Amino acid sequence: MSRLFAVALGVLTAIGGFVDIGDLVTNAQVGARFGFSLVWATAIGVVGICVFAEMSGRVAAVSGRATFDLVRERLGPRVGMLNLVSSMLITFLTFVAEIGGVALALQLVASVHLLLIVPLVGLLVWLLLWRARFSAIENVLGLLGLALVVFAVALWQLAPDWSSVAHQAVTLDKPADEDWRTFAYYAVALFGAAMTPYEVFFFSSGGVEEGWTTEDIATMRANVLVGFPLGGLLSVAIVGCSWLVLGPLEIGVDSLGQVALPVAAALGKVGLAVAIVGFVAATFGAACETGLSVGYSVGQYFGAQWGKYVRAREAAVFHVVLLLATLAATAFLMTQVDPILVTEVSVVFSAAALPLTYFPILVVANDPDYMGEHVNGRLANALGTFFLLVIAVAATAAIPLMIWTRMGQ
């Protein structure tokens, strides 16, 4: 019974934690402009994150060690440092976006300037990272993030023409007034939003935090293979709601309030209130995950004690990094940079950095010295190789498309 509960809780938190500020904004933008014609990019991204999350979780369960600890040892300090620097930059940028996302969500219910909310959010995030138990961060915020299911309810209430939905999704039915370059740009953005690097760092490090062993592999796989796809369906629901409400009115998405408009149109004030709870929980949870991922990465690479399973004084480097990262992210947002713009940039740069994140995971998952009998099988290697090729294409195209289309304009 306890194992069944662990599976159920893990699946629920995976669903609630899958959608962060990048998914909220990018999916709403895509829905308003392209309808369901780019759902395939989300689907590919969801399958890809499942493949590599399963690998990283299996590595953590078998070896008892997390990603950067093994990358440095297996590929050497130079390659490890390259991975550390690239992932730190992307994860920090995502951390900034998530803190900004929490502030934007709170601003929807408070008539207060954003610059007055950001320091409070930064403080709350740091206090949670410093004092809260790992399970509380993962489970409580993940479960509250399930409030975003309101988008699926709103989509059902809006009663779309499902035959039209299927036609768009299957035929890549791009709107006639949209350019193929812009279409490709948003495809890469959706793919990057689904495969954000911090998700894998947090997942594998969390497995070490919780003491996974080979007996936990089945539970881990259930969490990955059920939770992430269902979380992906929430992303598709956001796309559908934006297509039905914002698309006909030609409303672009440049604020979090516009993401919530379809829910308000379909379900009224109650639905809007539930959506805002989901916004706060999802972005707050993602802020904690990205903040922890920064600390995890530095601690693992340099061999310092890390994690929330030890006392703060015993993991001083880890907690100093968390504090400095939170201060830096808050200070960045206090320059009045637009959090939505940071979100859009972070999603594209995440796509550009994906090879440096996922190639080392595939290498370690194939090493019998670490994995023993749990090395990748033929299916895992075939899928891993295929997605590395997709990742390479997306990474190569991401920044040129961002410049060429002026960020999808």
How far is residue 371 CA from its own chain's centroid?
Answer: 27
Radius of gyration for the chain, computed over Cα atoms and rounded to the nearest angstrom: 20
pLDDT at residue 276, as a whole number: 93
pLDDT at residue 298, as a whole number: 86
pLDDT in tens, 120-174: 999 999 998 888 777 777 777 777 888 899 999 999 999 998 888 888 888 877 7
Contacts (Cβ under 8 Å, ≥6 apart) of 99: 118, 121, 122, 125, 287, 326, 329, 330, 333, 339
Mean pLDDT of 351-369: 86
Lowest model confidence (mean pLDDT) among 34-48, 195-209, 332-346: 195-209
pLDDT in tens, 281-304: 888 888 988 898 899 888 888 888
pLDDT at residue 1, as a whole number: 47
Residue 137 vs residues 19, 84, 343, 401: alpha-carbon distances, Å: 15, 24, 22, 36
pLDDT at residue 196, as a whole number: 83
CATH 3.10.150.10 is held by the domain 2-170+179-404:
no
Q: What is the DSSP letter of 214?
A: G
How many Å apart are CA 297 and CA 306, to the nearest integer? 9
Share of the chain above pLDDT 70, in %: 95
How many Å apart are CA 239 and CA 357, to the nearest integer? 27
Could you tell me which of 340, 128, 180 has the C-alpha nearest to residue 252?
340
Residue located via tokens 């402009």: 33
Q: What is the pTM of this model?
A: 0.91
Which DSSP string do the residues of 216-265 spell out, in sequence order? Answer: GHHHHHHIIIIIHHHHHHHHHHHHHHHHHHTTTTT----SHHHHHHHHHH
Mean pLDDT of 215-226: 86
| Cβ neighbour number for residue 403 with a 10 Å cutoff | 11
Per-residue confidence band for 11, with pLDDT thresholds at 50, 70 and 90: low
Mean pLDDT of the chain: 86
Residue located via tokens 């194939």: 366
